[in-house]
Amino acid sequence: MQELFIEVFGLLLSAVASVWLFKRLGLPVILAYLVTGIMAGPHGFDWLANESQMQAIAELGIVFLLFSLGLEFSLPRLIAMRNIVFGVGLLQVLLSSGAFFICLLIFGFDKLSAFAVATLVALSSTAVVVKCLKDSGQLQKRRGQLAVGVLLFQDLAVVPLLIAIPLLASNTDQSLFVSLGFALLKGALVCALLWAIGKWLLPLIFNEVARMRNEELFVLTTLLVTLFAGGLTHWFGLSMALGAFLAGMMLGESQYRHQLESDIRPFRDILMGLFFVTVGMQLSVIYVFSHLHIVLALLVIMMVCKCLILAVVAQAMGERKNDAVSAGLMLCQMGEFGFVLVALAKSYGILDSELSSLLIALGVLSMAITPYLIDWAPVWVSRLVFVPAEHVDDLHSTHDELSDHVIVCGYGRVGQNISRFLQAEALPFVAIDLDPYLVRQGRHANYPLMFGDVTQKSILAGAGAAQAQLVVITFTDLNKVKLVTEVIKEVAPKVNILARMPDDAHLDELKEAGVSEVVPESLEASLMLASHVLFMSGVPMKRIIRRVSQERENRYSLLHSFYISDEAPHREGSTDMLEYLHVMALADNAYAVGKKISELNLTQRRVSITAMRRGGREVENPSLDTILLGQDVLVLRGKPRRVERCERFLLNGGEAL
């Protein structure tokens, strides 16, 4: 036990020192973890005796990463991306594997080893690419979606490869096809099972958990769901990461998406760091330097070939040239599953030790280069394909749709009144609350609400705090207000903060904490009461306003209207009877693209399009003769089940059953 403690302590100490140094030098954090692994591994100081246990734990990092990725997707969106996943992804794997296979045969490799090397080299790193895309804000760009779609197919392709390599080594061709067919059947079964669980069971579970308003329970439930999904697919002989992705995808359309991602992030980031450490352990620096010319030559050839193949395939499937080349640059490295296949092929005698070391060196070095390629891909693409710089997306704009907006922390009575006034003035805002009922009702009213805890940095970052002009804190708990203020100042140091308090007893304390303005309820109530007394006593209104203005700078609104009470009963059964507004975006290849609204017969489905956004311009109540185009944003009105069916119909066609 003491030995394990010393190993873990030494690993953490090295990781902290490396990450600090690399951040000070402006280098990617992934490189810091790789260097830590090189130092700790058998080719470095070799102080870890429990390397296999570390690798097993580190694999959970990929599971949590894929769960986070799944939260960014939904089933209709994935179906809309089928051309990327099963079109571009399939062709990329086949053509890359085929090209490398032929080259290896020419250089004297036997068919079995050539097949093993070609297939594992064709795969890319989901862990590195997705993490870099999320960090750089490119995950929602078209090039990021293209890269993720190809990665999803590659993760699916790992399953038959894990089955095929051992069977090919034993020369049992008949059992190969039987085993692959059985694996596909199991895959379809487990996907259907997870879809059913995510569609009907998980929303009920998280609704109940959210009502408890217990942070620990929500975090534990999130971890349980992620590990259950990964364990279920692993039990069926599939990738744990695939199960976690499916579970995340089922929850991606729920109101808990931001809170789920916030809860899973600490575990994901720590375990992903440990994963990159285990990757670095496999690299022999001595081998790299002794064969440096060979390693560098093969590294350049591999990355250039993979980039060109994917760029050509993507363009052939109708993608824009700049997106295709960008995705090629993002996916030109070897993947983490390549290390698994190398170990598997080596254990069956397909690869020798020297070739395995070479492949590991190519994998680690290509993964280390990837963060630079992703960061600079837009700039390089603008020069390579002659796209003007203004047409290349801003690399670091992670919240393009949110800028100069107001963030309302808390959606109780005060938060609802503030939101209503902001909505009436067409001022952009986002409201955040931990009550699922309030969030759901607010969304039914077409208000931009997020479910989440405002004391967490990731929730405020997800609301675009860095780009906001004002944050309003509507609750009156002093300690919580100070905590939220501290978190806001870490995420957005320059943003103005407006806080509500019962009185002005803590005015100076909050001003020192960073609050720009404090609104004391007792003072405002007394001023309004005095105003009514003076007005009903015959004092002219102008004089009243002048007297009140002398007491405070900001005016107080007397208007009151209907609001959802903080103590409102949670009537789940009534939600299906309400009509609500739902926003959806049409993919370029959606069924409804190119058709008039009248041709879609939405009135028969009891759903209407109340508004539309095209090219940044709002179109209210579009006419029936309006032809829908790709990237149109539609606002659908109807009952939840009908709107959900209509969305699937608009994206995929067929009957909206």
pLDDT digits (tens, 9 = 90+) for 283-296: 778 888 888 899 99
Asked whether the predicted pLDDT for residue 119 surpasses 70, the reply is yes
Assign 95 a pLDDT band (cuts: 50, 70, 90): very high
- In this structure, the number of other CB atoms found within 10 A of the CB of residue 131 comes to 26
Q: Which of 419-433, 478-492, 509-523, 532-546 has the highest mean pLDDT?
A: 478-492
- CA–CA–CA angle 485, 491, 494 (5° rounding): 75
Domain spanning 579-652 has what CATH number?
3.30.70.1450
Pick the closest to residue 103 from 91, 113, 89, 88 (CA basis): 113
The first and second tokens of residue 528, run together, are 């309004």
pLDDT of residue 397: 35
Contacts of 203 (CB under 8 A, 6+ apart): 254
Lowest mean per-residue pLDDT among 12-26, 185-199, 217-231, 355-369: 185-199
| Top-confidence residue, 324 or 440 | 324
- Give me the pLDDT at residue 551, please: 66
Range 51-391: architecture per CATH: Up-down Bundle (1.20)
**pLDDT tops 80 at residue 56:** no
User: What's the mean pLDDT in 302-322?
Assistant: 90
| Over residues 198-212, mean pLDDT | 83
pLDDT at 567 over 90: no
CA dihedral 459, 464, 467, 473 (to 10 degrees): -50
* Residue 184 pLDDT > 50: yes
**CA atoms of 308 and 303, how far apart (whole Å):** 9
With 0-12 CB in 10 A as exposed, 13-18 as middle and 19+ as buried, what is 55?
middle
Pairing mode of beta strands 617-620, 608-614: antiparallel
Q: Is the pLDDT of residue 559 over 50?
A: no
Q: Per-residue pLDDT tens for 128-155?
A: 888 788 776 677 678 888 888 898 888 7
| β-strands 580-585, 517-520 pairing | unpaired
We find that the CATH architecture of domain 406-551 is 3-Layer(aba) Sandwich (3.40)
SS3 category, 630: coil
Instruction: Give 591's Cβ-side CA count (13 Å radius).
Output: 16
Over its C-alpha atoms, the chain yields an Rg (Å, rounded) of 28
- CA nearest to 515, candidates 495, 535, 543, 544: 495
- Over the stretch 496-512, which tens digit does the pLDDT of each residue have? 999 988 877 788 888 88
Q: Specify the pLDDT at position 303.
A: 93
pLDDT bucket at 171, cuts 50 / 70 / 90? low
72 pLDDT higher than 80: no
Region 584-611: mean pLDDT is 86
State the distance between the two ends of the chain, measured CA to CA, in whole angstroms. Answer: 59
Among 45-59, 279-293, 489-503, 581-595, where is mean pLDDT lowest? 45-59
Average pLDDT of span 426-443: 82
Q: What CA–CA distance (Å, rounded) separates 79 from 238?
A: 21
pLDDT at 461: 84
Q: Which residues of 98-124 are buried (b: 16+ CB within 10 A; e: fewer)?
A: ebbbeebeeeebeebbbbbbbbbbbbb
Using an 8 Å Cβ cutoff, are 410 and 433 in contact?
Answer: yes
- The domain segmentation of the chain, as residue ranges, is 51-391, 406-551, 579-652
Instruction: Please state, as a whole number, how many other Cβ atoms lie within 10 Å of the Cβ of residue 454.
Output: 24
Task: Please check the confidence at residue 343 and state whether its pLDDT lies above 50.
Answer: yes
Structure tokens at 252: 């991606």
Report d(CA 548, CA 528) in Å as an integer.
8
| DSSP-derived 3-state class of residue 54 | helix
Average pLDDT of 184-194? 78
Does residue 469 carry a pLDDT above 80?
Answer: yes
Task: State what percent of residues in the chain have pLDDT above 90.
Answer: 11
- 199-231: string of b/e by CB count within 10 Å (b at 16+)? eeebbeebbebbeeeeeeebbebbbebbbebbe
Residues 6+ apart with CB under 8 A from 54: 11, 48, 274, 277, 278
**Residue that wins the pLDDT comparison between 583 and 454:** 454
For residue 335, give Cα distances in angstroms to 128, 180, 369, 517: 8, 22, 13, 51
Asked if pLDDT for residue 239 goes beyond 50, the answer is yes
- Provide the mean pLDDT of the chain: 79
Tokens encoding 62? 């990929």
Report DSSP letters for 451-508, one per residue: ES-TTSHHHHHHTTGGG-SEEEE----HHHHHHHHHHHHHH-TT-EEEEEESSSTTHH
At 431 the pLDDT is 92
What pLDDT score does 339 carry?
77
Distances (CA, A) of 474 to 281, 409, 454, 480, 547: 50, 6, 11, 11, 27
Query: Residue 560: helix, strand or coil by DSSP?
Result: coil
Taking only the tens place, the pLDDT of each residue in 382-418 is: 666 544 443 444 333 333 456 789 999 998 888 888 8
